[in-house]
Structures are given as structure tokens and as C-alpha cells.
Amino acid sequence: MEGTQARWRIIFSGKVQHVGFRYTAYYLAKELYLTGWVRNLPDGRVLLEAQGGVSRIRKLVLQLKSQPHIHIEHTQIEEISLLPHDRGFKVIGGM
């Protein structure tokens, strides 16, 4: 078990809608055993909350940035409070 647990609220901007971002994030987060959710914002950005080991959350962000069909121009990260009973990872607004 990884020691340092965290929950990050991350806002991605760039070409992040209509490119499969949410579903890519969903599958990557599941592979990394992260909990949380992802959803589109009305202004074209994507909001994601991920909880789990810090190194796994960092890996999620790096994997999203390396996707050829997703073009992230800016990432805004904020550490927020852990949700002790959070289970699973979901796409909000679809799936």
C-alpha cells in the first residue's frame, strides 16, 4: 500500500473536450486504482478529482498529457480534503 494519500482537484484546459478525455481519464484512473470523478465544464475545460496515492495521481496526469488525441495547454492543480468513503471512479455527464 502506498503511504501518502491525497485528493487533487485538477482543471485541464486546451483541446480536452470532444476528444475522449473523460473516458480516457476513467480507464486510466481505474487501472491506477484511483477514486474520484471527471466531468466537462461549460467553458470547454475538464474538471477531474482524483484520490489515492500521490505518485499514482501524478502518473494519471502524465498519462493524460501523453495521449496523442488530447492537447492539454494548462493544468491547474489544487490539493483538497480526502473523502474517506470515496469508492470507484466515475464520469459525470455520461457513460
Which of the residues are catalytic?
22, 40
Tell me the CA distances in angstroms from 86 to 32, 42, 72, one per residue in order: 15, 25, 27
